[in-house]
Amino acid sequence: MAGDRDLAAAVDEAVGRSQEYFLRSQHPDGYWWGELESNVCMAAEYLLLTHFLGVAEEGRWRKIANYLRSQQRPDGAWSIYH
């Protein structure tokens, strides 16, 4: 029984600390911001999605295609890890 109370108290404390952290890190407008690290797959998937949706963004597509080509390795492949 005492172990259950200790566990419950520890869980309550952890939940409280988590809530405090999220409230402290929340932007005044109500959202949270964080750096999104990715690789060329996200850019390629964006091109594919906008193509399938019929959203023509030629200028943006050109910039993304140039970025993708700039990230291509000498062997013709792309790194999919950071």
Structural domains in the chain (count): 2
Domain span holding position 3: 1-34
42 and 53 in a single domain? The answer is yes
Q: How far is CA 17 from CA 6, 12, 29, 76, in A?
A: 16, 9, 22, 48
What count of other Cβ atoms lies within 10 Å of the Cβ of residue 37? 7
pLDDT tens digits for 18-74?
A: 999 999 999 999 999 887 778 899 899 999 999 999 997 899 999 999 999 999 999
78 and 40 in a single domain? The answer is yes
21 and 43 in a single domain? The answer is no
Q: How far apart are CA 54 and CA 11, in angstroms?
A: 49
46 and 81 in a single domain? The answer is yes
1 and 19 in a single domain? The answer is yes
Q: Which two tokens stand for residue 79?
A: 């790194």
Q: Would you place residue 76 in the very low, low, confident or very high pLDDT band (cuts 50, 70, 90)? A: very high
